[in-house]
Structure 1
Amino acid sequence: MDFVIKVMPKGELELPDEIKAQLRPGDEYEVSLIEDSIVLKKIQKDLDIKEWFRIIEELSPDPNQPTLEEISKIVKKVRRERRFKE
């Protein structure tokens, strides 16, 4: 997907909402100049356990998360199927 951005008078970039939604405070990007293009590549950092928990807490609940009862039924079904195969 391509976007058009505008350079403001003081050099700031006006980014579309779809791009802003992908940016997080603290993210770092490598900037490359290739001919007449500017390429931003996100720098992937190793996450520590605190960062993992922070990310998990920010996620919204999974609307398709099975209940414990549903998980139990699935496990029982798989166990039954494995028993009959042996």
Structure 2
Amino acid sequence: MPVFTILVYDVGEKRVARVLKTARKYLHWVQNSVLEGEITDANLKRLKEELKKISKEEEDSFIFYTFRTERYYSREIYGIKKGGHDMFL
């Protein structure tokens, strides 16, 4: 069963592009260092494993917010809208 996930990350400049490219295989880019979308538990585990291979634990940070349903989730955007729901680079 898919879960709605928000990924927020802060990584070293040299790894930003690789992290974004990897995360966009599974989630939608929203804005700098933020992605979201529905993802299965198996793919969430796969995403975390891929990110661990790219990242440096002593320098980088990843936060995963997961919701079992979008029913209790809302989002407001102020200012310009970045990103989107395009899964292609």
Q: TM-score, normalising length from structure 2?
A: 0.25
- Quick check: which one's strand share is greater? 2
Please identify the structure whose Cα radius of gyration is greater.
1
- Quick check: which one's helix share is greater? 1
Compare relative contact order (CA 8 Å, sep 6+) and give the higher one, 1 or 2: 2
